[in-house]
Each structure stands twice: as C-alpha cells, then as structure tokens.
Structure 1
Amino acid sequence: MNQVVRLAQSFDEWRTAARELIARGVAPADVQWQSLPGDGDLFSIAPEATDASAPPLRLPRSLVELLESAACFNVADRWAFLYQVLWRWQQGQHDVISPADADGARLHGMAKAVRREEHDMHAYVRFRERQQEQGAPRFVAWFEPAHEVLPQVARHFARRMGPISWMIATPTATMLWDGTTLQAGPALMRGPTERGPAERGPADIDDAGEALWLTYYRSIFNPARLNADLLRSHIPSRFWKNLPEGAIVPAMVSGAANGERRTGQTATVGQRSGAAMIPISAERAQPVREASTTLDQCRRCELWKSATQAVPGVGPQQASIMLVGEQPGDQEDLAGLPFVGPAGAVLERAMQDAGIARDSIYVTNAVKHFKWEPRGKRRLHKTPAQREIAACHDWLEQELHNVKPQVIVALGSTALKSILQDGAATMTPLIGTPVQHDGRWVVTVYHPSYVLRAPDEENKRQAYRVIVEGLRQALRLIVGVASVIDA
C-alpha cells in the first residue's frame, strides 16, 4: 500500500520527512511524494512505531550538499529521486553519489545546473530604482529562473547591498530585503514594474542609474569588433528580455551589419576610400586619444596595470637640487611616495653626511610606476625597459620645467639614461665627473639600493662614499653657479 507524504517545496521539510521514512524502513517504491499545499501534518499515514533497530542516518557533508543543491532543480520527480538516492546510500550502495552511477550522474547534473542558474542570476538580475515610498523597497528586480534558486541568490544580494532595501520577484516567489531581514513572499503575476523591456527607450526611463548605464553601454559598443554569435552564446536569449540593454542591442547589431563597421575603429579609417572592410595593423586601429593630463591617468606603457598607483616626485616647488632615481619600489608603490623604503633610508643617511636637508631638495624617479615580478608572496623589483623609460620621460620633463633645478643627481643607470635621453649612456665614465646637459649640471652616483645589494662590505662602503661625494659635489656646483650669477 502506497503511503502519501505531503510537503511544501522545501529541502528542510523533505529532509525531515525523509529521515522519518528511512527510520521506518519505508522503501522508495512505497512512498508517494507531493508538492501540493495542504493542511495537517507532513504525513497522511497513521503514526507507526519507529523501528528501534533502524540504523542512524549519517551522511557525509558532500552528499548533503549535493542533495540540497539538487533539491532546487525544477523537475516533477525531484523529491522521489532524492529519496531514492538517500535510500540507496543507507542500504550501503555508496556508489550512488559517483558520476559513474546512473543515479549519481543525474544527481551531479542537477546540482551543476542549479549552481549555473545561481551564477546566471547573480550576473543578470537588474535592479531598477523606484520612487521612495513609505515601507516600499528602494530597488526592484524581475527575474525568471529556470530552477528554484531565489533564496540563496537573495542571501548573496543581501550581503552585497548592505542596508539598501530591495525586492526580487520571480514567477513563483518573491524575496524582500528591508536592510536587516530577508522575507519570502508570494509570486507576482507580472514583473515589479509596469514597463516591459521593449519600452525602455531613453524617454521612458525614469531610473537615472539605468539611463546612465544605457548611455555607457552605447559608448563602449564597437561595431567593428562585434561578434553576434559570440554575444548570443555568452548571454542566453531567455535573459535578454529582462535586461535594460536588451532593448538597444538589436538596433546596434543591425547598425553594425549595415555599414557602421567601417567607422568603428577611428575617424581617419572611416574616411579612407576603398573596400568596405579595411585591413590595418593593430597599432593603427587604436583610436586617437588625448594626452594624459594627470599622472594617475597615464597609460603610455603597460606598467600601470600591475602597480598600485603612480608615484610622483616630492619636494619644494622650486629647488636647486633634484635627485632622480630609477622607479618606485614595493613600499613606495604602496605609500605613493618616493624613497620611503630601505633604499630611502640609505639616501637619507647619505644626505645627512653630505650636509643636505631633505626638505630642501626635490626627489623623484625616472619611471613613475613600480615594475615587479612575483617571487612567492613577494614582489621583486624588475629593471624598466628602455621603451618604458622613454614613455615616462615627459613626466620627468614636466618636473624639470616646474622645479627648475640647477643640478640633477642621477641615482643609477636608468635615471642617467632618462635625463640624457641616451639609451646607451653608462655610469662608469661619469662618476665623479659632472656634465652639462640642457643648461644644467648632471652628477652621476650609484642608486642607494646598490649599497644594500653590494656583494661585500668593502663594496658597500665604496658605493656609499660615491653617493655622499656626489651629493657634496652637487652642493659645490650650486655655490659655483651662484658665484657666476653674482659676478
């Protein structure tokens, strides 16, 4: 005789009922599972004494997680199938959770589909801001999931959006977040707004955030690089109707097919006569960009991608001496200031020994972003390439123009190459021998980091003496320049 179990569409309720049935030794074939709403207890059968000899129900965490995920898979026989898996496990058939087993393969497939649906819902839910009303959520969203993943997705958005109130509605349920508590509600007959996606034209959008998003989306669309098939494969068609951009993408795709590809790269390319598709090199395909106006915006080389920030020079607006190093180090990259790490400590001591106050000179680097390579958990310095030195030279020229130093001290080979604009310049002939360049004296010394990595104590002392003497030489040159001016 079949025994009927009534339960709501809830994993917790199914688990409670399944545990009771397992304890009674009820086989899967003797159970009829229903997801219909009803009154009374979960069981329509009369109470029976539980078999005291029934083994306790102990499941590995991995099986519990699989069952819980698969319980969200929207299929009519899911509760019966999950009970069958549970029964087989309790009977000692532990291969039921193996993908090689027929039931195991289905179980894993259901869990995988549910996880994918969660991911898609994270990606494609679009909130719209509404007029603030007393007790109403600030943001609302409509989504049509293939599986019952709303509760776990709602927990994700509650963590992400903090105290901001919102509601997500689906055809089967709603979840409301008031800033502190998640509440489940009934299904809505339609989306949370009267407007449909096809009506979301510029004049129809009262959500300023959504209007700004569509403006941004249009601005980044490049018809010359459109791959419609790839676009469709990345975003399944069932999501497009509820995405704000879904209303404008068809027109943009159509425009690309009707000739806008020609002008998609640059204005100069579009003005050229010839074939409809003009093959050009990747470098020439880049649009004409305005020059960077601030150091933080600089993209002249690739170093900005892995650096924390650009590190500008520091010092008086006008200084007689400018010290130019190679590039920021690990600590400088994090602090945003030059020479604050171990090499900076060596330079500070050398300036004291040379009789120079640090706040009287301007300190900067030839390259403004930290170039490094990973070594375990550390970021190790890597010498900039000549193209990176050249790309950053304009910023050094601006500093020279603004500060107007009389003497430049080149701390190391990279700084010397940048100052002289000579990729073949070497330090050895110029140590101890100042040279004139563009109306300024250039003094060459070792970089302070060389003192730290010198192979032995004698080399460390010799390198440090060169730095101190170079700084003293810079002071003497300033006095000499002043004497000439006074005379």
Structure 2
Amino acid sequence: MNAVVRLAQSFDEWRAAARELIARQVPPACVQWQSRPGEGDLFSATPDAAGTAAPMLRLPRQLVELLQAAACFNVHDRWAFLYQVLWRWQLGQHDVLSPADADGARLHAMAKAVRREEHDMHAYVRFRERMESEGAPRFVAWFEPTHEVLPQVARHFARRMGAISWMIATPSASMLWDGQTLHAGPALLRGAADIDDAGEALWLTYYRSIFNPARVNADLLHSHIPSRFWKNLPEGAIVPAMLSGAANGERRTGQTASVGQRGGATMIPISAERAQPARAASTTLDQCRRCALWESATQAVPSAGPQTARIMLVGEQPGDQEDLAGLPFVGPAGAVLDQAMQEAGMARDSLYLTNAVKHFKWEARGKRRLHKTPAQREILACHGWLEEEIQRVKPQVIVALGSTALKSILQDGAVSMAPLIGTPVQHEGRWVVAVYHPSYVLRAPDAASRRQAYRVIVEGLRQALTLLQD
C-alpha cells in the first residue's frame, strides 16, 4: 500500500483523519503525519469525501480520555503513536489500554505528564494586574508550559475568575477571557518582562515581611517549586537574596538585617530545659505529643467499634488512607480484613478495631507516602492509649494483627510472632491470638504466599470466635 499523508495540529484534526483511515483499514506503517490545520470528528459517523458515511468508532471512555490527554504531549511522533494505539484497539488488541503493555505504558505516561503539567500551571500561573485601558484584559499572566495544555487550563481559570477579564500568554499561543467567552490567539508576548504590574511592589514588600530566615529550608523550597517556574514568579527575583541572607547570619538570630544591626546583645543564652513551658499531660488523643510522629501525620486515628465488644482487633498503625480519613482499616489492608472477617463469620460492627500506634509513620518516595515500621520507642510511647482502651472495653479475646501489635499487647519488644501463630496465649486474664497483618497479604511476593498469609488471618479470626465459646 502506498504511503498516505495526513495533516494534524490538534486532537480534533487528528481524530478526523484517524476516523477516515480506520474506516479504510490503513495500517499505521502506511501513514505519514504532518502538522497543519484540518477539521472533522473521529467519534461520529460523518460523510467522507465521496459522501459515504464511515462507520462510527466505539471506544471506551477511558481510552478516549487517554488519547485526548496524550494528544497534548509535546513530542514529534505523537499523532503516529496515537493512531497506532487506535489501530491496535480496532484489531481487538484491547491490552493496549493496560500499563503492562509497551504502547499502553507510553500512553499512560504521556497522559500523566500532561495532567501534571495542567496541575503545575494551575499552581504557578501568576496574574499581574495591568493599568486600566479600554478593551485590554485587566489581568495578564505569562507561562512556559512543556506540553500543549493552555486551552484546558484556560477553561479552568474561566470557571474560577468569573467576569474578570484576563489573558494567559505562552511562547506559542494566547488565551483571552473577556468575562463571557474564551478567545484563542497567537503568541502576543515575549515573556513576563512585557507585563507591567502596578501592585507587584506591594506584593514583594509583603513577601519580604513574612519571610523568616530561621525557619527557611532551601532544599524543601526548591523541591516544592521546580526551578523552571521560579523565573516567572514575582517573588523569584528576591528569593535568592533572602536565602543568601539566611545562610550568612540572619538564620542564627531569626531577625531581619535591620534588627540585627542594632547595638547591644542580639542573642540571650538560655537552657533548653528552661525554655520549655510547663504543659499538662495529654488528655485526648489529638493532643498527644509523646513521640514525634504527630508532626508529620495528618491526624491521630482513633479506634472504632462498640465499647462492649468481646473481641478487639489491634493493628500496627494507620496507613495513608486511614491517616487522611481519621478512621481505622479503611484502605487496601482494611478491604482484605473485611473479606477475612466475612469468611470467618464475623461482623465488623461487633468488633473493636484499633492500632498499637495512633499516628501514621511514613517516608516520602517521590510524591507518595510509604509506610514505615514504628520504632520500639514509638510503640512504648503509644502503649498508654492502647492500655486505656483494653481497660475500658475489657475484651475477652484480643487479635494481634502483626508483630508490632503483638509486642505492644504483650509489652515484650523481643517477642516473635511466628511461634504464636495458631497458638493462643493467656495474658492478663484474656486470650491473645496472633495473625499476620492484612497488609502482609498485599506485600507477599507470590500468589502462594498471599494465599497462605490470608488463610492464617481467617483461621485466627475463627479461633477468636471459638475462644469466646469456651
């Protein structure tokens, strides 16, 4: 088959050409894509050049959204790649939608990068107010996006800013909002320097006044705001000087340069012990400061369940979703536990669910918060809360979900869980049953290990019910 040339500069133009090529069963290898204007609609049965309606393409919504997002990814072969994905789908190769497929992985990665760029643009676009002039937008912003996300970002700001007129300019295009309608146009500015802002001096004065050199963390500051955005932020012009001042003495005194230049003593020595005010003991979980975990957690996660429950389930600590929701066992591990309870014949609302450690301990891995096992000192610091729950509820059986819970319940940092699986022990007048934590089922290396770990949990829960009847 001879090579077919098709023109595309936007998603709408690409899908018009792709619809016609799919109808003619033209394989990707026979298509050469070029970037020039066009028109059409991929997903409706519109007539072709001969007046014959091509068959409608039925695609899942997820694939359409991925194609539309990936079409904004700024790479030279995007149109050819998107057509290849579409071609494979029409051939019945639906695994092209899966991240495990090579093309699927690239499609998802492109869409993810585009959505990230949209998020960054939402966060780092800075509108500058211009002097009033007839017909000109009141606010103007300059941004240099990596991908072609200006139209969808402009729609976002149109919803947010109401009837106020504004314009966002980029190196390749501009979007103008007149208070009612969005207008697309060519590049109208060469950079942020082309924008005069009457209020920028006031903003910079305010920014300097709230800057605390004693608290600044330069590495964290730059990790939160990528370097490519700094040059177009108003405060980007003064932050380097303020960081330099913090590193050259202002950090030590926690004072501005003008205060630090005053005569007399600028620092008063005092012992750390005397500097700490007297504080009453924590009376609620939200007030607990017995260890440092509260500093990085969203909130303390309390227990859930009836105060008269005969069985208490004790986990290790809240996970990421529990930390955000403020409830125990609502994440993926909670789903495993719910399934195991159902199989064991237990009702969740009849059990008392809690954790040995009440705050989520985590470490950053990219943009994710990954679970980190609590240290023994943190288990000990939190034990008072667990002990209070045990004394108040007075359960007949406690199920320890994992090693951390077992150590806290038995108050033995050296206890091993393996010998106690399947062998309940008496502790302070009640039975203690040891099973794996449900998250272990999710982390197990293979299917056989997952089945075995899950079976231990189910059998342990059944054993707890049997002990109630003895």
Q: TM-score, normalised to structure 2's length?
A: 0.53
Q: Residue 238 of structure 1 corresponds to which residue in structure 2?
A: 228
- State the 4+ residue runs in structure 1 displaced beyond 3 angstroms: 46-52, 265-270, 278-285
Q: Residue 3 of structure 2 corresponds to which residue in structure 1?
A: 2
Q: Residue 467 of structure 1 corresponds to which residue in structure 2?
A: none
Deviation at 1:171, TM superposition (A): 0.6
Match runs of 1:209-248 below 5 Å: 210-248=200-238
Deviation at 1:169, TM superposition (A): 0.4
Deviation at 1:143, TM superposition (A): 0.4
Equivalent residue of 1:32, what SS? strand
Structure 1 distance, partners of 2:65, 2:274, is 49
Structure 1 distance, partners of 2:109, 2:274, is 43
Deviation at 1:128, TM superposition (A): 0.8
Change (3 A) 1:241 1:23: same
Q: Please tell me whether the aligned partners of residues 168 and 175 of structure 2 are also in contact (alpha carbons under 8 angstroms).
A: yes
Change (3 A) 1:252 1:22: same
Q: Select which of 263, 266, 274 maps to 1:271.
A: 266
Aligned residues: 274
Q: Residue 433 of structure 1 corresponds to which residue in structure 2?
A: none
Deviation at 1:281, TM superposition (A): 7.4
Q: Give the gaps of 5 or more residues in structure 1.
A: 196-204, 286-302, 306-372, 376-487
Change (3 A) 1:143 1:206: closer
Deviation at 1:49, TM superposition (A): 8.9
Equivalent residue of 2:191, what SS? coil
Match runs of 1:430-449 below 5 Å: none
1:272 maps to amino acid: M
Structure 2 distance, partners of 1:151, 1:136, is 20
Structure 1 distance, partners of 2:19, 2:148, is 23
Larger radius of gyration: 1
Q: TM-score, normalised to structure 1's length?
A: 0.51
Q: Please tell me whether the aligned partners of residues 12 and 40 of structure 2 are also in contact (alpha carbons under 8 angstroms).
A: no
Equivalent residue of 1:260, what SS? helix
Structure 1 distance, partners of 2:192, 2:246, is 33
Q: Does 1:151 align with 2:151?
A: yes
Deviation at 1:207, TM superposition (A): 1.8
Deviation at 1:167, TM superposition (A): 0.5
Structure 1 distance, partners of 2:188, 2:156, is 21
Q: Please tell me whether the aligned partners of residues 66 and 111 of structure 1 are also in contact (alpha carbons under 8 angstroms).
A: yes
Structure 1 distance, partners of 2:32, 2:157, is 36
Change (3 A) 1:193 1:134: farther
Q: Select which of 195, 198, 202 maps to 1:207.
A: 198
Structure 2 distance, partners of 1:265, 1:156, is 40
Q: Deviations over 1:399-443 (max 9, x none)?
A: xxxxxxxxxxxxxxxxxxxxxxxxxxxxxxxxxxxxxxxxxxxxx
Equivalent residue of 1:271, what SS? coil
Q: Residue 103 of structure 2 corresponds to which residue in structure 1?
A: 103
Deviation at 1:6, TM superposition (A): 1.4
Change (3 A) 1:219 1:254: same
Q: Does 1:194 align with 2:185?
A: no
Deviation at 1:206, TM superposition (A): 4.7
Change (3 A) 1:165 1:41: closer
Q: Residue 239 of structure 2 corresponds to which residue in structure 1?
A: 249
Structure 2 distance, partners of 1:57, 1:282, is 75
Q: Deviations over 1:7-55 (max 9, x none)?
A: 2x211111111111111101001111111358x999xxx9579797xx7
Structure 1 distance, partners of 2:78, 2:250, is 50
Q: Deviations over 1:147-178 (max 9, x none)?
A: 00000000011011100000000011000000
Deviation at 1:213, TM superposition (A): 2.3
Q: Residue 432 of structure 2 corresponds to which residue in structure 1?
A: none
Q: Please tell me whether the aligned partners of residues 23 and 50 of structure 1 are also in contact (alpha carbons under 8 angstroms).
A: no
Q: Residue 165 of structure 1 corresponds to which residue in structure 2?
A: 165
Change (3 A) 1:284 1:154: farther
Structure 1 distance, partners of 2:56, 2:14, is 17
Structure 1 distance, partners of 2:50, 2:27, is 15
Structure 1 distance, partners of 2:181, 2:53, is 41
Q: Please tell me whether the aligned partners of residues 13 and 37 of structure 2 are also in contact (alpha carbons under 8 angstroms).
A: no
Q: Residue 136 of structure 1 corresponds to which residue in structure 2?
A: 136
Match runs of 1:27-38 below 5 Å: 27-36=27-36
Change (3 A) 1:104 1:41: closer
Change (3 A) 1:183 1:49: closer
Q: Residue 64 of structure 1 corresponds to which residue in structure 2?
A: 64
Change (3 A) 1:4 1:41: farther
Equivalent residue of 1:148, what SS? coil
Q: Residue 81 of structure 1 corresponds to which residue in structure 2?
A: 81
Change (3 A) 1:100 1:283: farther
Deviation at 1:264, TM superposition (A): 1.3
Change (3 A) 1:162 1:253: same
Equivalent residue of 1:85, what SS? helix
Change (3 A) 1:192 1:253: closer
Equivalent residue of 1:144, what SS? coil
Structure 2 distance, partners of 1:49, 1:145, is 40
Q: Deviations over 1:35-79 (max 9, x none)?
A: 1358x999xxx9579797xx7411000000000000000000000
Q: Please tell me whether the aligned partners of residues 163 and 178 of structure 1 are also in contact (alpha carbons under 8 angstroms).
A: yes
Equivalent residue of 1:183, what SS? strand
Structure 1 distance, partners of 2:225, 2:133, is 34
Structure 2 distance, partners of 1:284, 1:63, is 58
Deviation at 1:272, TM superposition (A): 2.3
Q: Please tell me whether the aligned partners of residues 192 and 232 of structure 2 are also in contact (alpha carbons under 8 angstroms).
A: no
Equivalent residue of 2:184, what SS? strand
Match runs of 1:68-467 below 5 Å: 68-188=68-188, 190-191=190-191, 193-194=193-194, 206-208=197-199, 210-264=200-254, 271-272=266-267, 280=272
Q: Please tell me whether the aligned partners of residues 7 and 17 of structure 2 are also in contact (alpha carbons under 8 angstroms).
A: no
Structure 2 distance, partners of 1:5, 1:228, is 49
Structure 2 distance, partners of 1:176, 1:6, is 27
Deviation at 1:244, TM superposition (A): 0.1
Structure 2 distance, partners of 1:282, 1:165, is 57
Structure 1 distance, partners of 2:167, 2:273, is 49
Q: Give the gaps of 5 or more residues in structure 2.
A: 42-47, 278-283, 287-324, 328-470
Equivalent residue of 2:141, what SS? strand
**How well do the aligned residues superpose, as a CA RMSD in angstroms?**
3.7
Q: Please tell me whether the aligned partners of residues 253 and 267 of structure 2 are also in contact (alpha carbons under 8 angstroms).
A: no
Deviation at 1:193, TM superposition (A): 4.9
